[in-house]
Chain A
Amino acid sequence: MEYVKGVPLLRPYIDYDNQEFWLAHREEKLVFQKCTYCGKIIHRPKPMCPACLSTDMEWIESTGLGTIYSWTTFVYDRAAYPGIRVPYIVVLVEMSEGVRLVSNIEDVTSEEMYIGMPVEVFFDKVSDDLTLPKFRKRKVKK
């Protein structure tokens, strides 16, 4: 993905509920919230477990493995974020933990994209103070 110089990067909005998720990226870790009481794995982070209403949460490191659940290519610049050169692909990844995550995919063209594609996480240091989890196509051992 090619970022356009001069357009401000969009940063996550970090609060007490989600800070572990975003801050882990600096250590190149993808983490998800897990309810300590009932074991439900949750994304996006929430103040309370929607299954059992517990507020006791821990954070588990993801395997980083998932498959493409859906995707789109931003083709037309006026319907896209001006800070990234079109065309660019946004993906919805279903992780092996069962949660879904919006991200980007690199090194894959629109023509090669398909739902169900196995992917794995990598970390893109977009700027000195922003590292984002992104995905690449994953080879699956037969």
Chain B
Amino acid sequence: MKSIKNKVAIVGIGLSGFSKDCKKTELRMACEAIKDALDDAGLTPRDIDGMIKQTDDSADEHAITSAMGMPNLTFYGETRWAGAPCGMVMQAATGVAAGACHTAVIYRAVNGGSGLRSTPSMRSSGQLSTADLLHWAFHSPFGLMTEQGAVAMLAERYMYEYDIKKDQFGPITVTCRQNGAKNPNSAYFKKPITMKDYKESKMVTDPLRALDCYEKFDAAAAFIVTTPERAKYLNHPPVMILGAAQGSVPETENMCGYYRDDVTGLPEMAVMGKRLFKMAGVKPKDIKFAQLDDAYTPLVPMQLEALGFCKKGKGVNFCGDGKKIKAGGRLPVNTAGGSLGEGHIHGMNHVIEAVHQIRGTATLQVKNAKIGLVATGAGGPAGGLILGR
């Protein structure tokens, strides 16, 4: 099968800080992140002819071409929900590989801390799309309105099926926070936590504690992809896309896949992973680091299982006390902190950290980080990338 392997490179990245109220519009945040990514690459707005946005973002492609003076946009599209960061990269890369565009930008900008929430909730604008209504209508009349509640029911079943004990998700959030504590861009810089903090953290939606769940921030991020030929003339060594895939299967839904045989199996992540590893021509044991969706701690072991890093039901054992997944471990996870330890911008920062690792510019640099994996959208529509040199 023909694929996009080695046909597209990530050449520019931009990431804002994480603020509870940055006093900027989402359009301005998006433009600033895109400018940072252009500067990082050594490109200008005139070079951009492709653009992929996240469906839920308020800053649309036309507003951005106007705000940034982009006269050459001829390819654009969108995808949505938590798998989007990797999915958007894949779609932009597909455009580049097919020759539909030459240099494409991917962005997200969300006033998650100060303004609208990106997911339907009573505290958001109240403006839900028809698709949201269909997905949530069977849950919201019963008070199941938040991701924390939705994931809690998955976690409860997961604990039941695999005999997982209370507090066993704790080392995941502790590891992410320890990584983030060393990252100057993190909202939690110099603020590591211990298992004691975890155990004292308040119960939110039983069995999830506050420290099992990400916090919302105002943040923005952007990446630029182009051909390997153009990448030679830009600022950084290219980070090559070796594999890219999305995943959706029957009853895939944002955090609420309650209606399938196995509710703890992340089948959309499994179908995505299968395609991803096949395209890249590698196996889980070849992966030197993984940036995983850590919006909620139970999703991390579920992803390790779905992606084949360990057997079904063994994800919590794999994470253990954190030894295997911390920097220097067998599979360093979320080396900049991820959503729990750096800040939440819906997995965009996970892609950025993977680029840093491959470039060799990460704060917690993994030795010989020549190939790494990013997964976004655990518990919902999935996206994944395998990146390398």
Chain A interface residues (CB < 8 Å from chain B): 1, 9-13, 15, 18, 43-44, 50, 69-76, 79-84, 88, 90, 92, 99-104, 110, 115, 126, 130, 132, 134
**Given A79-B204, A104-B142, A130-B141, do A72 and B153 touch, yes or no (CB 8 Å)?**
yes
User: Is B47 part of the binding interface, using a Cβ–Cβ cutoff of 8 Å?
Assistant: no
Which of A11, A12, A72, A80 has the most chain B CB atoms closer than 10 A to its own CB?
A72
- B97 interface residue (CB < 8 Å to A): no
**Does B153 lie within 8 Å of A70, measured CB to CB?**
yes
A70 vs B262: C-alpha distance in the bound complex, in angstroms? Answer: 12
> Once the chains are docked, how many angstroms separate the CA of A72 from the CA of B157?
10
Residue B72 lies at the interface, judged by CB distance under 8 Å to chain A = no
Task: Write the nearest CB–CB distance from B197 to chain A, whole angstroms.
Answer: 17
Q: Is the CB of B160 within 8 A of A115?
A: yes
Apart from A74-B149, A90-B143, what 15 extra A-B contacts exist at CB < 8 Å? A10-B145, A18-B137, A50-B250, A70-B263, A71-B156, A72-B205, A79-B204, A81-B143, A81-B145, A84-B143, A103-B142, A110-B206, A115-B156, A115-B160, A132-B142
28 contacts between A and B (CB under 8 A): A1-B143, A10-B140, A10-B141, A12-B138, A12-B141, A13-B130, A13-B133, A13-B134, A18-B137, A69-B157, A69-B258, A70-B153, A70-B154, A70-B263, A72-B152, A72-B207, A72-B208, A75-B203, A76-B205, A79-B204, A80-B145, A82-B122, A83-B122, A83-B143, A84-B143, A90-B149, A102-B144, A130-B141
Cross-chain contact A100 with B259 (CB below 8 angstroms):
yes
Q: Is B230 located at the chain interface by the 8 A CB criterion?
A: no
Q: Which residues of B contact A (CB under 8 A)?
A: 122, 130, 133-134, 137-146, 148-149, 152-154, 156-157, 160, 202-208, 210, 213, 250, 258-259, 263
Please determine whether B154 and A76 come into contact, CB atoms closer than 8 angstroms.
Answer: no
The reply to whether B149 and A79 form a contact with Cβ atoms under 8 Å apart is yes
- Alpha-carbon distance A83/B142, docked complex (angstroms): 10
With a cutoff of 8 Å between Cβ atoms, the chain B residues found around residue A92 in the complex are 153, 157, 258, 263
Q: Which residues of A contact B146 (CB under 8 A)?
A: 79-81
B128, closest chain A residue (CB): A13
Minimum Cβ distance to chain A for residue B352 (Å):
28
Residue of B nearest to A102 (CB): B139
| Contact B205–A75 (Cβ < 8 Å) | yes
Point out the residue from A9, A10, A15, A73 that lies within 8 Å of B206, measured CB to CB: A73
Interface of B is mostly: mixed
Q: Hey, which chain A residues are within 8 Å of B208, CB to CB?
A: 72
| Interfacial chain B residues near A69, Cβ < 8 Å | 157, 258, 263
Cα separation A102 to B143 with both chains bound (whole Å):
10
- Taking a contact as CB atoms under 8 Å apart, the answer to whether A72 and B138 are in contact is no
> Bound state CA distance, A70 and B142, in angstroms?
15
A71 to B154, CA, bound (A): 9
Cβ A74 vs Cβ B143 within 8 A: yes
Would you call A88 and B143 a contact (CB within 8 A)? yes
Q: Is the CB of A76 within 8 A of B203?
A: yes
Q: A76 CA to B137 CA in the complex, in Å?
A: 22
CB-CB < 8 A to A134: which residues of B? Answer: 142
Minimum C-beta distance from A92 to chain B (A): 5
Closest CB-CB distance, A32 to chain B, in whole Å? 12
Task: Give Cα A90 to B153, complex, Å.
Answer: 8
Contact partner, B144, options A13, A82, A90, A99, Cβ 8 Å? A90
Minimum C-beta distance from B206 to chain A (A): 4
| Nearest Cβ on chain A to B129's Cβ, whole angstroms | 11
- Which A-B residue pairs are the 7 nearest by beta carbons? A72-B152, A13-B133, A13-B137, A70-B157, A81-B143, A81-B145, A79-B148
Which residues on the A side are within 8 Å of B154 (C-beta)? 70
Which chain A residue lies CB-closest to B158?
A70
In this complex, what residue of B is CB-closest to A17?
B134
Query: Which of A70, A76, A84, A99 contacts B202 (CB under 8 A)?
Result: A76
A69 → chain B closest CB, angstroms: 7
A79 touches B205 (CB 8 A): yes
